[in-house]
A and B are shown apart, each in its own frame.
Chain A
């Protein structure tokens, strides 16, 4: 009897030390895009798989809601806090409160300008690197042939638009056969992607002078693909299409041969975050201050239909 009791106590202690039954608070920005909905779904899945209690709070795009959520997580004494910050500034005092309560905070997807000591680590993708992966794919694909590229930019002035443009330009720099001949914003939307692509096709000899399209996100590419089809050209062969994000709809286009490649911005930020937290809980290991997620390239050879099926129910 005593032995059983002791074993139980030991097991419980072990459980407490290891990951099981941990409570994690997650302050999400909102659900403004399909990607964010998928991030929420995957965070819930990851927490469930690892047996954590997830306290979820949707801030509906307001920082004050996020601050209130973090305060309530601190008051509940959770074991860790995940924060996808809506803005970069104004987090110092609430992060200090979490630090005083010795609760590790992991930032997801976006960064804050507070002191690095106030959070455990930040998980995110490198936007410049995403652009580089897309550019490198095109460099390899055309293999030295002349290629006139048109570019659909994201919302002017937004950091994904700036960084994905920079990364792509870095990748094609030094390859004189590649040239961006037209570059315009299409605001990350399908409708604008189609409209701007129509004007590109007009301006470039009905599309005959365009060899490739680079879009800063998949939605603009999906719109542009329709414009290319309506102009009587074949997207994917007459005009190569490469974009970023890896949302389900682009995999349908890739499976149909109408798009060529996409670079994944993974919504699974929680996986690396939980890995880092587990190492921290178990042995107190301090992770790097920035954990970069993989920017994986998917092409027509990577089972696009299967990728579509895997993603379609994530909430995109």
Chain B
């Protein structure tokens, strides 16, 4: 199966959504250049997808090992708080980013050890950090929104490079790097092997423990990038709200990307498209100008339609119905 045919359903859904939003908001695809930066709904969607797309990249790997990482939203808050703390201490943008990434790696290591070495179920193991971590972030920020003015760090969240917002480059680079590492080496295959049957993979010589720890570290790293992006964007670390419930959006993106929660085969590209689909829905609702009471219902309705269309059972029923229909027509 080529990459294109794997991600075809997600591309079709995205195209259909763009067409749907264009009905309500005709200027959806227009892009202007203002003050040397591209401006348009599509650019906004690419930029606003950054947190969920980054989380979805890490989450795809974790889910491929039949795991789940509920703590990514909280890791975002911790890393954002750590970065803002470093900036308010006058340590500079480089140190802030290094500290945030280190915090993300450490959080991932914590999850990985709990899952792979201690043997706690991923759902429970990452739930611990999800619950506890926001408290850690609040301790760092002392419960307030830590604001800073560092223009270098702010550039990561709202700057423009080579015609696109910086966050877009960050998630594109991360997704491409992970996809290439997974598919140009045997790593992707090994991750899938662990997800399908950890014991069998172990007996076949795969070091499942190290691999599991590694995917949770990768997830923590992606969450740290997402945390840096959102913190830089608003130039402040909001420990209470940064990344709140985004773990669920990330899981949804992975699922819309057609990846099974039972592990095994995965596609990073499809998950990232899933994130774009989610953001297109949110942006479309805002642009169309519906009352905010309808936001969640519309979002849920569209997600339901997308998932039903992707359901293997619906697909096989449809094929069955189509074939019998053809056969009937053939008889008459």
Q: Encode B37-74 as 1/0 by CB contact (under 8 A) with A.
A: 10111001000100000000000000000000000000
Q: Do the beta carbons of A199 and B287 come within 8 Å of each other? A: yes
Q: Mark A185-207, 1 if CB is under 8 A from B, else 0.
A: 10101110011101110110010
**A187 to B296 CA separation, bound complex (whole angstroms):** 13
A183 within 8 A of B: yes
Q: Chain B contacts of A190 at CB under 8 A?
A: 145, 234, 236, 238, 241
- B128: min CB distance to chain A, Å: 18
Q: Are A156 and B234 touching (Cβ within 8 A)? A: no
Is there an interface contact between B145 and A34, defined as CB atoms closer than 8 Å? yes
Check A203 against B39 for contact (C-beta < 8 Å).
no
Cβ–Cβ contact A230 & B41, under 8 A: no
Partner of A232, one of B35, B289, B293: B35
Other-chain residue from A34, A185, A226, A231 in contact with B234 (beta carbon distance below 8 A): A226
Q: Which residues of A contact B81 (CB under 8 A)?
A: none
Chain B contacts of A184 at CB under 8 A?
A: 286, 292, 295
Interface of B is mostly: mixed
CB of B283 within 8 A of CB of A199, answer: yes
Residue of A nearest to B285 (CB): A184
Q: Is the CB of B236 within 8 A of A31?
A: no
A263 to B235, CA, bound (A): 24
Q: Do A231 and B240 touch (CB < 8 A)?
A: no
Do the beta carbons of B39 and A206 come within 8 Å of each other?
Answer: yes
Is A113's beta carbon under 8 Å from chain B?
Answer: no
Bound CA span A292–B147, Å: 32
Q: Is A219 engaged at the interface, CB distance under 8 Å to the other chain?
A: yes
At the interface, yes or no: A33 with Cβ under 8 Å from chain B? yes
- Max chain B CB contacts within 10 Å: which of A31, A198, A249, A315? A198
Instruction: Tell whether A31 pairs with B143 under 8 Å between CB atoms, given A191-B233, A199-B287, A203-B25.
Output: yes
The range of chain B's interface size is 20 to 34
Q: List residues of chain A with CB within 8 A of the CB of B34.
A: 206, 231-232
Given contacts A231-B39, A232-B35, contact A191 B286 (CB under 8 A): no
Cα–Cα, bound, A178→B94 (Å)? 47
Count of A-B residue pairs with CB < 8 Å: 82
* A194 & B283 in contact (Cβ 8 Å cutoff): no
Instruction: A34 to B144: give the CA distance in the assembly, Å.
Output: 5
> A230 touching B234 by the CB < 8 A rule?
no
Instruction: Write the nearest CB–CB distance from A164 to chain B, whole angstroms.
Output: 14
Q: Which residue of A lies closest to B236 (CB)?
A: A190
Rounded to whole Å, the gap between the CB of B81 and the closest CB of chain A is 14
In the assembled complex, which residues on chain A have CB atoms less than 8 Å from the CB atom of B233? 191, 194, 226
Q: Given A189-B241, A198-B44, A199-B287: A230 and B158 within 8 A (CB)?
A: yes
Q: Is A223 an interface residue (CB 8 A)?
A: yes
In addition to A194-B234, A222-B234, 10 A-B residue pairs with Cβ atoms within 8 Å of each other are A32-B240, A34-B143, A34-B145, A184-B286, A190-B238, A199-B287, A203-B289, A249-B147, A315-B143, A316-B144
Interface on A for B, CB 8 Å cutoff? 31-34, 37, 153, 156-157, 182-185, 187, 189-191, 194-196, 198-200, 202-203, 206, 219, 222-223, 226, 230-232, 249, 315-316
Could you jot down 20 A-B contacts, CB within 8 Å?
A: A182-B289, A183-B291, A184-B286, A185-B292, A190-B145, A190-B236, A191-B238, A191-B241, A191-B242, A194-B234, A195-B48, A199-B283, A200-B286, A202-B39, A202-B44, A202-B287, A203-B25, A203-B286, A231-B34, A315-B144
